[in-house]
Amino acid sequence: MQDYQSQKSIVLDILDAHQSMPGNLLPILHGIQDTLGCIPSAAVEDIAKALNLSKAEVHGVISFYHYFRTTPPGKHTIRICRAESCQAMNSKALENHAKQTLGIDFHETTADEHFSLEPVYCLGNCACSPSMTIDGDVYGRVTPEKFDQLIAVCKGAN
């Protein structure tokens, strides 16, 4: 866990930059997660204070949205689509293969902190199901073999 004191000034800058924007909470949370990789729980108090909200309200928003996270992700985030079109092209096999290969379930990070695995419900890539993303890059028609190749490339890059 990184200590929040070193991140606090970044959070305050982001809060400052969005001060006059109407409906600014989501853009602020995105800004923080984009920069720090997650929204540290300790930041909730600063966000609440700046927006004149209760801590519970801010926490309620963070926990409502699947995309926001309060713990740091691994070096690479893998998102596998679980929705119908991908299921029609056997995404279940891909899902199971990924869990087994990485040794983790959805919402978990490998012990070496290389990979986090997240479910996603449609990437708009349904014409080439099954789909997944690695650090935001979309891959289509992903077979277990292709998954292994992509993971190997990620590991090689480290």
Partner 1 sequence: MTRLFVSRDSTALSLGAEQVAKTLQEQASSKGLDIQIVRNGSRGLFWLEPLVEVETTQGRVAYGPVQAEDVAGLLDSGLLEGKEHPLYLGNIEELPYFKNQNRLTFARVGLTDPVSLDDYLAHDGYRGLKNALAMPAADIVKHVTDSGLRGRGGAAFPTGIKWNTVLNAPAEQKYIVCNADEGDSGTFSDRMIMEGDPFVLIEGMTIAGLAVGATQGYIYLRVEYPHAKVALNQAIAAAYQNGYLGENIQGSGKTFHLEVRSGAGAYICGEETSLLESLEGKRGLVRYKPPLPAIVGLFGKPTIVNNVISLASVPVILDKGGEFYKDYGMGRSRGTLPLQLAGNIKHPGLFEAAFGMTLRELLYDYGGGSASGRPIRAVQVGGPLGAYLHEGQFDTPLDYEAFAAISAVLGHGGIVVHDDTVDMADMARYAMEFCVEESCGKCTPCRIGSTRGVEVIDRIVGNIDKDKNTALLRDLCDTMMCGSLCAMGGMTPYPVLSALNHFPEDFGLPAAKA
Interface residues toward ligand FES, by CB under 6 A: 81, 83-86, 122-123, 125-126, 129, 131
Per-position x/- string for 112-141, each x denoting binding to partner 1 as judged by CB under 8 A, each - no binding: --------xxxxxxxxxx-x----xxxxxx
Largest distance between two CA atoms of the chain? 51
Pairwise CA distance, residues 118 & 77, whole Å: 7
Residue 145: CB minimum distance to partner 1, A: 16
In the DSSP assignment, the letter for residue 133 is E
Residue 130: CB minimum distance to ligand FES, A: 7
* Tokens at 51, concatenated: 């927006």
* Tokens at 81, concatenated: 């689509």
Q: Examine residue 156 and tell whether it contacts partner 1 (CB under 8 A).
A: no
Between 92 and 155, name the residue whose CB sits nearer to partner 1: 92
Between 111 and 146, name the residue whose CB sits nearer to partner 1: 146
156 touches, from partner 1, ligand FES, none (C-beta below 5 to 8 Å by class): none
Start-end of H helices in 18-108: 25-36, 43-51, 55-64, 84-88, 91-102
Q: Examine residue 88 and tell whether it contacts partner 1 (CB under 8 A).
A: yes
Helices 25-36 and 55-64 cross at an angle (nearest 10°) of 70
**The one among 5, 23, 156, 157 contacting partner 1 by CB under 8 A:** 23
38 touches, from partner 1, ligand FES, none (C-beta below 5 to 8 Å by class): none
Contacts of 116 (CB under 8 A, 6+ apart): 73, 74, 76, 77, 78, 108, 109, 110
Which residues of this chain interact with partner 1, rule CB under 8 A? 22-27, 29-30, 51, 60-61, 64-68, 83-89, 120-129, 131, 136-141
